[in-house]
A and B are shown apart, each in its own frame.
Chain A
Amino acid sequence: MNFKINLRNIVLVILASIVLSACSTARKASDSTSGDVYTGKDTVEYLASGVPDRVFFATNRSSLTTAARETLRKQSTYLRKNKDLSVTIEGHADERGTREYNLALGEKRANAAKDYLMTYGISGKRISVISYGKEKPVNTASTPLAWSQNRRSVTVKVK
């Protein structure tokens, strides 16, 4: 009898811990997106200390979020300090769109970032753009989180 009760308690504890861990991963995913725009730091690299290299977009959109503008202002400050530096902005899309539309969308996203840098005084001559559409995912999973990390434009230094 005692043994049985113990066993049931153990099962309950295991069940509870599964539920809790499921909650914590779910919370983690929603913490890192706002709407469906990625707000986390997981795939982000840095042009210099405190200067993130990428900004994220909503599904099928190319408008810059407040966070994206902040990142791009940091990039413009960095580029003003490093006058000899040229960059390429790569525009990307997630895997949930048709290939050709995604190529156009990637181009639009990269240019949205470029235009913003230009309004902060960076010459367009220092910035080239290229769209990869959905061809170069940074996260290869087929999950909403991965897709949010893949909808991005990345500023890359030209060597």
Chain B
Amino acid sequence: MKKIILILFCFFVNINFANSLIEVDITRGNLDPLPIAVSPLHVDPKSEKYKEIRIKELGDEVSKIIENNFRDTGLFNPLKKDAFVQKPDIAHLKPRFEDWRLIKAQALITGKLLVKDEKLKVEFRLWDLTASKEMMALAFTTTPSNWRRVAHIISDKIYERLTGETGYFDTRIIYVAESGPKDQRVKKLAIMDQDGSNTKYLTLGNELVLTPRFNPASQLVTYLSYFRNLPRVYLLDIETGIQEVVGNFPGMTFAPRFSPDGKKIIMSFAQDGNSDIYTMDIESRVVEKITEHSSIDTSPSYSPDGKYICFNSDRSGRQQIYVMNSDGSNVKRITFGSGLYGTPVWSPRGDLIAFTKVRKGKFYIGVMRPDGTGERLLTENFYQEAPSWSPNGRVLIFYRETKSNSKGEGFTAKLWSIDITGYNERMIVTETDASDPSWSSLLSN
């Protein structure tokens, strides 16, 4: 995976920050998505062949990826291309605004690309059709194999310009791919682009693997593996494929996550019937015990500034969420509602903690402030858990399992995402059944 290349941005037109331009408000559920036209990118006829990439169709393909990204946010409504009135190359020079307004588009994306000397050059523009103005123009050069990432990066730039928030399209999801009957499930680590394409399997399925999590700062992943029937936390470098066990613990280690700077792993260690929370510094291997309590303490997650840790514990008698300082001091229970609370995950923005709630036989994904106030349940189902945040803290991905019948049939596990407003719940299509998703940081940062 050494293909993470340098992308050269060159701003060739100043971004226009005039106030009158269109803006998308993403703080509320958007019931009136912005109509946007994504013109196919014009492919320069001087383009040369490059490996197996179908150059002629590349302009269409890139625009389709951008369209799908925008549709999936729930904030935009990409218009059908058969209504488009201008050729891509001409529209890219200067659109006839009145023609595009006729099809009710409010924003237009145009672009062109050239594949030459083993390089892909792409430029695109974003037009405000209401104000008849160019809002943004960017160009960059990369290796042609990265064309999908180019589409995601363009999507991120436009999303940022229109919403004022960082995008999350040039990202990946690591998860557990599942197959086989429920009592003989085969589980493999898998990684895919955020939109479900480019799936790669990272383990063979010989041993049980669970709960992979991305390092926010690198290409490392931490997860639980039952290699040689010893459940332990492992580190995997997804560029080199090198795996190693984390620490030298005499019993099960599980529930790993990275610290926000990526330098530590926080996890549970279970011994003699008691699970406590520990950290290990990846470089020095120094292990620290963070909680000391005879109850189950697990599912730890750092606040983005690294100062606090949220976790779940049944020290009150039932599974609830607690927050403490990162050295383990000042433990405070934050959930007091009816039901059980688990899997707390701190938002990368710091403002919310996402969690799983179990109440009266139903499972909920919800968010609350780090002091436990403002609880909002986003979705209810027979079984769902393990939310993971998009890097901009706007979207949660989680997994959902269906009920089996009395013969144990009909079981499925799928990945779902939902906007933190509670709108736009949708399933992410994966090649196999899937669980335990973890969202990467933006790759192009």
Contact = CB atoms under 8 A, between A and B. Distances in A.
A115 interface: yes
A58 B185 CA distance: 25
Contact of A137 (B183, B270, B342): B183
Contacts of A108: 270, 273-275, 296
A100 B270 contact: no
Interface residues of A, number: 31
Contact of B211 (A100, A142, A143): A100
A104 B270 contact: yes
Contact of A141 (B208, B361, B383, B404): B404
Nearest to B403: A142
Contacts of A146: 408
Contact of A98 (B181, B275, B299): B299
B56 interface: no
Interface stretch (A15-23, A70-78, A128-136): A128-136
Contacts of A46: none
A28 interface: no
Interface residues of B, number: 46
Contact of B406 (A97, A99, A141): A141
B319 interface: yes
A47 B310 CA distance: 43
A130 B251 CA distance: 9
Given A100-B254, A101-B342, A107-B251, 9 more contacts: A98-B312, A100-B343, A104-B275, A108-B270, A108-B275, A130-B229, A136-B183, A140-B404, A141-B406
Interface of A: 60, 62, 95-101, 103-105, 107-108, 110-112, 115, 130-132, 135-143, 146
Interface of B: 181-183, 185, 208, 210-211, 224, 229, 231, 251-252, 254-255, 268, 270, 272-275, 296, 298-299, 312, 314, 318-319, 340, 342-343, 356, 358, 361, 382-383, 385-386, 401, 403-408, 411, 436
11 contacts: A97-B358, A98-B356, A98-B358, A100-B268, A103-B252, A103-B255, A107-B252, A137-B183, A140-B183, A141-B408, A142-B411
